[in-house]
Structure 1
Amino acid sequence: MTNRHDPVSSVEFAAFRELHHPRYLSYARVWFRDAAQAAAVVEEAFCALADAWPELLGSPNPTADAWRILRATVAERGDPARVPPQRPTATPDEDLAILHYVVGLATPEIADVVGADHANVASQLRHALREAADW
């Protein structure tokens, strides 16, 4: 039996972690040279998610809120050697492009990871592709 007051032992949290951990880790690996550092950052994000779990479950879009926590954790712990000075963090469109073109996720998978609808993700990917000429 799980303890609903302990998010880490809840079935919902365990399922969320199992679904999103590999994709979160793939995203973090883009930003960190060291695989262990990327894994540590993802673990830190999941600790923050566990702390916020009751509030996340009560929000209109828990997956989008969880993605924001991961992005904030990655940005906070970011490796400046990997990010050009003029680009301290990725924009949401760039994140989607990273998930699609670097990590290799399809549009429906990206939508599931970031908590967005498929049409919106497809539109943002088209926008990111058009903007890529300016990178």
Structure 2
Amino acid sequence: MRPRAALAATDLGFAAFAERNRPRYTRYAQARLAQDTSVTRAVRATFVYAREGWHWLLGQPSLAADVWEELRYQVRVLSGAVAARDAEVRSLYDGLPENSADSVLLCHRLGLAVGEAAELMGLEISAVQAGLAVAHRALPHLALRGRI
């Protein structure tokens, strides 16, 4: 059994993580899912996963990457039943690897800086930059219109 102080610090760490990321996770899910109830479910399930596995996640190489992968999983599951609000967003995920599509969505559609998107996804900045470069090459029609 862990001492109370350690449990309180762990709870505080989770609370800070959730407070920092909930708005950004919600914006991401809103861009990918058509129904607000689906957005709420995806974000809630992601934080339940993170809370229940918090001690394990703290020992992983990238807590942010693991929780981001859970959010993407929740969105994928729900997006199979519900179309995206925006057909262009759907085409990003149909035409690109998931990291590239996420990079475009976060940086160009939601306005996050490359560094912030990398931190959110638990990636190196160079990985987000590479994802954006893949998108420019793979979907030049969107690049020409200024969408990526």
Which interval holds the TM-score relative to the shorter structure?
Answer: 0.7 to 0.9
Residue number in structure 2 paired with 1:54: 55
Matches within 5 A, 1:15-94: 15-78=16-79, 79-82=81-84, 83=90, 87=94, 91-94=98-101
Q: Distance in 2 between matches of 1:117 and 1:37?
A: 29
Alpha-carbon shift at residue 37 of structure 1 (Å): 2.7
**What secondary structure, in the 3-state scheme, does the structure 2 residue paired with 1:26 have?**
helix
Matches within 5 A, 1:110-129: 110-129=117-136
The structure-2 alpha-carbon separation of the partners of 1:88 and 1:131, relative to structure 1 and needing over 3 Å to count, comes to closer
Unpaired segments ≥5 residues, structure 1:
none
Alpha-carbon shift at residue 90 of structure 1 (Å): 6.2
Q: Distance in 2 between matches of 1:38 and 1:2?
A: 34
| Partner of residue 4 from structure 1, selected from 4, 7, 16 | 7
- 2:129 is the alignment partner of 1:131: no
Larger deviation: 99-108 or 115-124?
115-124
Identity of aligned residues (%): 27
Q: Distance in 2 between matches of 1:88 and 1:59?
A: 31
Question: Aligned-residue CA RMSD in angstroms?
Answer: 2.7
Alpha-carbon shift at residue 127 of structure 1 (Å): 1.6
Alpha-carbon shift at residue 118 of structure 1 (Å): 1.4
**TM-score of the pair, normalised by structure 2:** 0.77
Q: Is the 8 A contact 1:67 1:114 kept in 2?
A: yes
Alpha-carbon shift at residue 15 of structure 1 (Å): 0.8
Unpaired segments ≥5 residues, structure 2:
85-89, 143-148
Give structure 1 regions of 4+ aligned residues with deviation exceeding 6 angstroms: none
| Partner of residue 95 from structure 1, selected from 102, 110, 114 | 102
Q: Is the 8 A contact 1:67 1:113 kept in 2?
A: yes
Alpha-carbon shift at residue 89 of structure 1 (Å): 9.2
